[in-house]
Structure 1
Amino acid sequence: MGETRFESALADCLDEGLETTLAEARKGSREAFDALIRRFEKKVMKTALYLTGNLADAEDAAQEVYIKIFRFLPAQREEGKLERWIYRITVNAVRDLRRRRVLRLPIELFVAAVRPRDPVVQGEVRGRLLGALGRLSFRERTAFILTQLEELETSEVAEILGCSPVTVRGHVHSARAKLRRSFRDLKEYAWTVL
């Protein structure tokens, strides 16, 4: 189903608002920078949380992202690629965080795809999901999260990770296979999309 005229006009207004905010933030406006951060902070935090599996580490990574955005925004000139640029900074901030220290134990992630009614099974499913995500390589986890949960295009994820789209698809395929194996004996609760 196509976009309505209202939705199209609203998107144009939001884009114009973003361009204005971006221009002001590049000139050093603290208010514009804060507005820019507010616009992207949920995506940054959600991505960082999925990649780290830990709220404290996700918050640390997000702070690094905001600092880098503030520092490098004046040099970022690819207007249509701002969101992709912010995802790349987020992925790199998490990668840097992982290099600097061992990650803490993970907290509960949002498990929207699996909602068993039995709390015991629900806990087991969450535990398996966290464990399975933790066993994926950084690139597999990042490719899976950005394409499947954040719904970015393969080409965008390839640019963020600095690899080809074919490589991204390979990482996603490998991640799905590993996640499926983790849910092998819980067929009724397993993600059907994996």
Structure 2
Amino acid sequence: MGQSIGNWRMKMNKVDLRLLSEYGETKNLIIKNSEIEECRDLQDICELWNKDDKEYIEGHKFKENYIEKCIKEGDLPPIKDAKVEFYKIKSIYLKDEKKIIGFLDAYHGYPSLNSFFISTFVISPKYQKNGYAQEVIEYISNEVKNLDYERICIGVYLKNWKALRFWTKAGFDKILGIYGDKNYSENTYAFIGLEKRLV
């Protein structure tokens, strides 16, 4: 028993060495660790989705303090010993305008140690359909692959057809499972786990 705990701790330390860079750039974007000073701009992006169809798609809206909580405490997965150190929320800036246009949050080492999990990814509606989301996912995929993760996992609500099209087009083509309510109705919600293999 003691040896298996020791092996698990060694594996978790390896995850610790495999965290995304604090700052990165693509052709059009800057992707960096979010800071408390960015809360208002990031929460405004959440509110745009709240006003649109988030509640219809997922059954709930972002809470008023969602971003602040993510920056300060993390939005950790439902696993024993989840650690805030393995969680990151990233602000996405458009280089030319020096403006925040979106964010993503992710956990290193979930649902398995060789996995990188994106739990939320939002681009402001004004900046959608410009290829920025694809640019972010290409950047993240390359970074995560260079850190020796084998796959990226996501969960997409089944009513979010736009997101399902985006993620499958981006290479998330393996189904991990379907979770949530068993029967469809206007007031029931389920999501599909998808995976993109990197090796």
TM category, shorter: under 0.3
**TM-score after normalising by structure 1:** 0.28
State the TM-score, normalizing by the size of structure 2.
0.27
- Greater share of helix: 1
Higher strand fraction (1 or 2): 2
